[in-house]
Amino acid sequence: MISPKRFGNFILVMIFILAPCLNSCTSTRIVSKYDSDTFANNPLNEKTTWSFAWGLVQPKDINPKCDSRFNHLDQVTVKNNLGFALISVLSLGIVMPQRIEWACAPYSPPTDSLGHN
């Protein structure tokens, strides 16, 4: 029979072995109708946000710093990894980190028809 101490050590070792393999446990991606053609036109921004007290204390709003002429987001991805999940579980939901990634849609100047006034 395995002792509780030995079983606990086994679980800790497995967590440290599997943590690098599970870089992103969950991921939710939202893509809008505006799409970029290349990565150079659409750099990916990222930030880790922290919610506290079971979501009662929300993180500050993120300014995406998109081009003011065409202030649209192209995509948003919310990621949660094993480390973030462990922090949430061990703190009983008091601390909940998330990784946010977003990209701004490239500026698309308005076009007009030829030959019309």
Residue 39: what pLDDT? 57
**Does a structural domain hold residue 84?**
yes
**Does a structural domain hold residue 115?**
no
Per-residue HEC secondary structure of the chain comes to CCCHHHHHHHHHHHHHHHCCCCCCCEEEEEECCCCCCCCCCCCCEEEEEEEECCCCECCCCCCCCCCHHHCCEEEEEEEECHHHHHHHHHCCCCEEEEEEEEEECCCCCCCCCCCCC
Whether pLDDT at 55 is above 60: yes
112 or 54, which is more confident: 54
Structural domains in the chain (count): 1
Residue 36: what pLDDT? 58
**Does a structural domain hold residue 110?**
no
Query: How many C-beta atoms surround the C-beta of residue 22 within 10 A?
Result: 12
Report the alpha-carbon distance of residue 84 to residue 13 in Å, rounded: 18
69 or 100, which is more confident: 100
> pLDDT tier at 107 (50, 70, 90 boundaries)?
confident
- Host domain of residue 71: 24-104
Per-residue pLDDT of 85-99, as tens digits, reads 888 888 888 999 999
